[in-house]
Structure 1
């Protein structure tokens, strides 16, 4: 499928420039105009065929300077409209002659988008008419009136939408054309236009790094991050591993990665015997050289009999942060003949992210069998290996 990308850069976000006249999409971050960084992500992607930028009519000179490094690799820019959806429609109309099968629509103010996220959106278009990168809402949400809290909003099923948002080209073009015929309609993103017109849009995994730069403080943080090549100035990265095994006994469920999975056996241990969380706890403690799970939660202590292993993992994560550390990534490999891990993988990743307080994109879960060999192959137990990556000052 031929893929085109539209980068929407027609806004007037001057407040992010800290009082400068330059619209934010042309402000430098890490010594390079924001728009140039955004364009580069799509121009360099091997699955993207065409890249078109929608600009404000007053920004021709700024655009020429920001895009100079990509001469000959971009389609001619088009001028946007009064609203974002008008600008997107202008970009879509300009692509009609290129006849793309799919289109990615991205905000210029998200210059930290990476190739992996772009690929996930493109892959989503192989099976669905739309693909929307999202992150789950993890903060508690409150409703207010007159400056006072009046209620709590349930966050279950709520997601933070990002861009690029991908669509089958003809479907989203028709949707935008239809929306333009009703001047009362005003949409904040293209997924909303798709939803209004009945286009089926699937969720794909977003990225916490794909943040939208809105304020002057956002630009400052991004500038510092890109100039240092690290989200913290200086520091060191540590990687540590953990391993654990528990026997299987009579039961009706196993607890793995904080998720209860129906099974004809259970894991046997002093606590809930969550072998995956135990291995990950050891890995996190290893990054700060602070012993292991037995050091802090000895099985001889009756306080931990039957305890939920999320207590241990959260304590390890807290110790990392108390040491000034930032958890970058966690990887768990489960070794078992049964149960099947695949159907529960996303729930496991989400649960670990909740316990540790990270984004789900920082959690990886894998599984393998032992090909019938050893205690794992004989269904006598389940083992887990874990690796944690932490950045320390």
Structure 2
């Protein structure tokens, strides 16, 4: 049984300009959600009782958008240097003096609970703790591109964050730090003040996003789930002159009857996407008793489902729709349907399938009483 962690707080430093990464990397999307959100979610999931997010002045709107829907965090204004930003976060956080405080860089988004636990537990026998990885590659000194010697690597470590300290320890250490010197990190500040900082095992996934190419590597490290959802819908025929199927209007001597435009193909596909997420069905999101959806275009339902998927950090991989009817003939319109779905779903055409079949004159579709549709959707959801 895992021992509960003591109450702890955290500071997430997200005030940098990200110039080497091509812009403010904390707002960029990684695995379907902003870089900053990954760290804040991980800390809240680990039961941090207070999370202070330090951002540059004027970035409050971006921070609010990145962290929408999360509770337990608040903002502090960043400073001219990283040390200034950390000081601002500490001032906003406050005591108690013995409370563990994690200080973490938003540019290291793939933070896991195991690293959080190791750094906090190490405070039982040290003044500070930092996760680190041993240097695996051989190291060389070079001048003007010419090797001038090797560097012994046995005692070298690659420092990561979050770094952990008792609140009073890190506040007093910063108070003693020379104002004209730049601090490499909080561990260096505590060491200068005479503190003992312990190294704990880091995580290779806890890489720092520094250069544009780092984002592609981080994307590859994010755990993903593949899920499949299915949907089914049917509508009866009634008087009319056209029918909507998979977002395309087809001239016909009848129309499908429903509260909205009765596009059975889009309804089935919407349910398939919602089902893959475990997010209810179309009736939960668009009740047929609500008059605002009377006659509504069903592409609104479909895009709503995709938006909810995107908000979960997921993406649509492919879709497959089967229309079941004797009439109208679907084949002449199938390409137009595929193209319309590809546009609505932002998918390549070869990830969209539309097929049609009959029931050989059996059942309600065979008797011409109605039309049915079934759909499959494959989605990819990112883990934390």
Say whether the fold is shared (TM-score over 0.5).
Answer: yes
1:275-308 superposed Cα distances (whole Å, 9 cap, x missing partner): xxxxxxxxxxxxxxxxxxxxxxxxxxxxxxxxxx
- In structure 1, the residue matched to 2:153 is 155
Q: Note if contact 1:78-1:94 (Cα within 8 Å) is conserved in structure 2.
A: yes
Q: Note if contact 1:133-1:162 (Cα within 8 Å) is conserved in structure 2.
A: yes
- Write the mapping of 1:73-152 to structure 2, written as runs, cut at 5 A: 73-74=72-73, 76-97=74-95, 101-152=99-150
For residue 69 of structure 1, give the secondary structure of its aligned residue in structure 2: coil
What's the offset of the Cα at 1:16?
Answer: 1.7
What's the offset of the Cα at 1:146?
Answer: 2.1
1:360-392 superposed Cα distances (whole Å, 9 cap, x missing partner): xxxxxxxxxxxxxxxxxxxxxxxxxxxxxxxxx
- Correspondence 1:31 to 2:29: no
What's the offset of the Cα at 1:162?
Answer: 0.6
Match of 2:206 among 201, 206, 210: 210
Give the direction of change, closer, same or farther, for the CA distance of 1:11–1:100 in structure 2 (3 Å limit): farther
- In structure 2, the residue matched to 1:177 is 175
Q: Note if contact 1:36-1:66 (Cα within 8 Å) is conserved in structure 2.
A: yes
Q: Note if contact 1:137-1:160 (Cα within 8 Å) is conserved in structure 2.
A: yes
TM-score (norm 2): 0.55
Q: Matched residues in 2 for 1:192 and 1:9: separation?
A: 20
Q: Matched residues in 2 for 1:224 and 1:141: separation?
A: 26
1:19-67 superposed Cα distances (whole Å, 9 cap, x missing partner): xxx5101100011000011110001103x22111110112111101001
Instruction: Give the 4+ runs in structure 1 shifted more than 4 A.
Output: 97-100, 227-230
What's the offset of the Cα at 1:134?
Answer: 1.0
For residue 51 of structure 1, give the secondary structure of its aligned residue in structure 2: strand
- In structure 2, the residue matched to 1:51 is 51
What's the offset of the Cα at 1:229?
Answer: 5.3
- In structure 1, the residue matched to 2:186 is 190
Q: Matched residues in 2 for 1:53 and 1:148: separation?
A: 43
Q: Matched residues in 1 for 2:183 and 2:90: separation?
A: 16
What's the offset of the Cα at 1:225?
Answer: 4.1
Q: Matched residues in 1 for 2:24 and 2:101: separation?
A: 26
- Write the mapping of 1:240-255 to structure 2, written as runs, cut at 5 A: none
- Correspondence 1:6 to 2:15: no
User: For the aligned residues, what is the CA RMSD?
Assistant: 1.8
Give the direction of change, closer, same or farther, for the CA distance of 1:226–1:134 in structure 2 (3 Å limit): closer
Q: Matched residues in 1 for 2:105 and 2:225: separation?
A: 23
Give the direction of change, closer, same or farther, for the CA distance of 1:34–1:126 in structure 2 (3 Å limit): same
Give the direction of change, closer, same or farther, for the CA distance of 1:173–1:140 in structure 2 (3 Å limit): same
For residue 94 of structure 2, give the secondary structure of its aligned residue in structure 1: helix
Q: Matched residues in 1 for 2:221 and 2:100: separation?
A: 33
Q: Matched residues in 2 for 1:200 and 1:42: separation?
A: 24
- Write the mapping of 1:264-283 to structure 2, written as runs, cut at 5 A: none
Q: Note if contact 1:131-1:201 (Cα within 8 Å) is conserved in structure 2.
A: yes
Q: Matched residues in 2 for 1:145 and 1:57: separation?
A: 40
Count of aligned pairs: 221
Give the direction of change, closer, same or farther, for the CA distance of 1:227–1:123 in structure 2 (3 Å limit): closer
Which structure: larger Rg? 2
Q: Matched residues in 2 for 1:205 and 1:67: separation?
A: 29
What's the offset of the Cα at 1:213?
Answer: 1.1
- Contiguous gaps of at least 5 residues in structure 2: 1-5, 227-384
What's the offset of the Cα at 1:157?
Answer: 1.0
- Write the mapping of 1:221-300 to structure 2, written as runs, cut at 5 A: 221-226=217-222, 228=224
For residue 187 of structure 2, give the secondary structure of its aligned residue in structure 1: helix
Q: Matched residues in 1 for 2:220 and 2:65: separation?
A: 23
TM-score (norm 1): 0.54
Give the direction of change, closer, same or farther, for the CA distance of 1:95–1:127 in structure 2 (3 Å limit): same
